[in-house]
Copies of this chain bind each other. A is one copy, B any other.
Amino acid sequence: MVEKILIKVNIVNITSNYFGDIIMKKGTLYGTHRVIDPKGSLPQPALKISNDMELYDNEILIDVDYLNIDSASFTQLKQEAQGDLEKVKNKIIEIVNQRGKMQNPVTGSGGMLIGRVEEIGSKISSNIDLKVGDRIATLVSLSLTPLNIKKIIKIDSDIDRVEIDGKAILFESGIYAKLPEDMEDTLALAALDVAGAPAQVKKLVNLGNSVLILGATGKSGLMCSCMAKQMVGSKGIVIGQARNENRGQFLKNTGFCDKVIIADVQNPVNILEEALKANGGKEVDISINCLSIPNVEMSCILPVKDGGTVYFFSMATSFTKAALGAEGVGKDVTMIIGNGYTKNHAQITLDLLRESKKLREIFNEKYA
């Protein structure tokens, strides 16, 4: 009976053309063809998507090695299972069976995956920079990635990594990075996790700019500082903010910033004063929020000159606090919502690690 049903499905899904070649089903750019519930939704907000592993013509089939579960999600799963990794395994299987994707129902978040390209849809195979066998990391969230798990092999609880036997689908609009051969997977992943940040800085910052990086000692802050320093040149200035002397000294030692300020991001006037001092009394052209805490919008806005730009990478940013805050102080600044994706962001980020020995050293030590 099962076989019969499978055959029927195949007849519906795959047809052949005049020459007998197999013709794949046509998929939509954003993967809405796989959304089961609710209809009309995009795959990410959807409650259930199809994880049938038969390929549409614009999809990429991946033989998955590892899932890198989002940190918030993994913490929640461990807590719910009271640390019992067998229970975590069962829960992951349960979620994927229910939703067709690994999206934690409590946190809503997903993660990334690493695997090998197994098949490429006929419509996209000729104009894509990938071939069967390439190892890639997906840079779209697992929360929208069709996933089918045969078996969970191992959970590495320290680095939120789940080794599986399974397959996944990448949509035509999905983004990915080929894993480089000149660095460890763990190092590449740590960097790719914040790939949007340095790539956006590269686009945003120009020669001669003054740039203030808030939270410069963190993972994305270090990358942004290092990239900003490359972009501003000798006539520009990169000012990095740290929250205490210890971290300030660490930041000075990196050489990524021209000036380091120790100031309290919860006190916008303190940040303004220190930034002015560091920048010869002038407001800066650009500020970049790499902090992971809320209520720092005004600290990002106040030090920027009229006509300047505030870039918010932090997911803890409040839209209304930024909008009303800038209006409240009459600041004519352009405020940008950090976009984790921009063209060539993975390449730009991995290249930065290759160019800066110091950055690579720090990432190897702290994050890989």
List the B residue with the shortest CB-CB distance to A141: B328
Q: Which of B267, B298, B317, B319 contacts A312 (CB 8 A)?
A: B319
Q: Is the CB of B337 within 8 A of A269?
A: no
Chain B contacts for A298, CB-based, 8 A: 42, 45
Tell me, yes or no, whether A325 is within 8 Å of chain B by CB: yes
Is A323 touching B327 in the complex (CB atoms < 8 A)? no
In-complex Cβ contact of A326 among B269, B322, B330, B339 (8 A): B339
Is A144 an interface position by the 8 A CB rule?
yes
Given that A336-B334, A337-B336 are contacting pairs, would A267 and B327 also be in contact in the complex, using a CB cutoff of 8 Å? Answer: no
Chain A: residues with Cβ within 8 Å of the partner, total of 51
Mask: chain A, 291-331; 1 = CB below 8 Å from B; 0 = not: 00000001000100010000010010111101111111111
Check A332 for interface membership: any CB of B closer than 8 A: yes
A335 interfacial by beta-carbon distance below 8 Å: yes
Cβ-neighbour of A339 out of B139, B144, B332, B342 (below 8 A): B332
A173, B329: Cα distance in complex, Å: 6
Q: Is the CB of B267 within 8 A of A140?
A: no
Q: A333 and B339 in contact (CB under 8 A), knowing A40-B270, A298-B42?
A: yes
Residues on the B chain within 8 Å of A329, using CB = 30, 42, 173
A218 at the interface (CB under 8 A from B): no
Across-interface contacts of A328 in B (CB, < 8 A): 42-44, 140-141, 143-144
Beyond A173-B330, A329-B173, whether A340 also contacts B318 by CB under 8 A is no
Q: Is A122 an interface residue (CB 8 A)?
A: no
Given contacts A267-B40, A269-B42, contact A340 B326 (CB under 8 A): yes
Tell whether A27 is near chain B: CB-to-CB under 8 Å. no
Most chain-B Cβ atoms within 10 A of its Cβ — which of A141, A330, A336, A341? A330
Bound: A44/B324 CA distance, A: 9
21 contacts between A and B (CB under 8 A): A30-B302, A32-B269, A40-B270, A42-B268, A42-B298, A42-B328, A43-B328, A141-B327, A173-B329, A315-B319, A315-B320, A319-B319, A319-B322, A319-B337, A324-B340, A326-B339, A330-B341, A332-B341, A332-B343, A334-B339, A335-B337
Does residue A166 face the partner (Cβ distance < 8 Å to B)?
no
Partner of A341 from the list B173, B270, B331 (CB cut-off 8 Å) is: B331
Residues of chain B within 8 A (CB-CB) of A139 are: 327
In the complex, the answer to whether B332 meets A342 with C-beta atoms within 8 Å is: yes
A336 and B335 in contact, given A328-B140, A330-B173 (Cβ under 8 angstroms): yes
Q: Give Cα A242–Cα B323 distance, bound, in whole angstroms.
A: 25
Select one of B175, B315, B317, B319 contacting A330, CB under 8 A: B175
Does A196 have its Cβ within 8 Å of any Cβ on chain B? yes
Q: In the complex, A332→B257 CA distance in Å?
A: 28
Separation in Å of the A295 CB from the closest CB of chain B?
Answer: 8
In Å, the complex CA distance between A175 and B328 comes to 8
Interfacial chain B residues near A236, Cβ < 8 Å: none
- Give A200's nearest chain B residue, CB to CB: B334
Contact (Cβ within 8 A) A324 B42: no
Contacts of A333 in B (CB 8 A): 339
Q: How far is the CB of A100 from chain B (nearest CB, A)?
A: 16
Please give the distance in Å from A46's CB to the nearest CB on chain B.
11
Min CB gap A39→B, angstroms? 9
Given the complex, which residues of B lie within 8 Å of A174, measured CB to CB?
330
Taking the closest CB of chain B, its distance from the CB of A320, in whole angstroms, is 5
Cα distance A236–B105 in the bound complex, in angstroms: 44
Chain B residue nearest to A297 in the complex (CB): B337
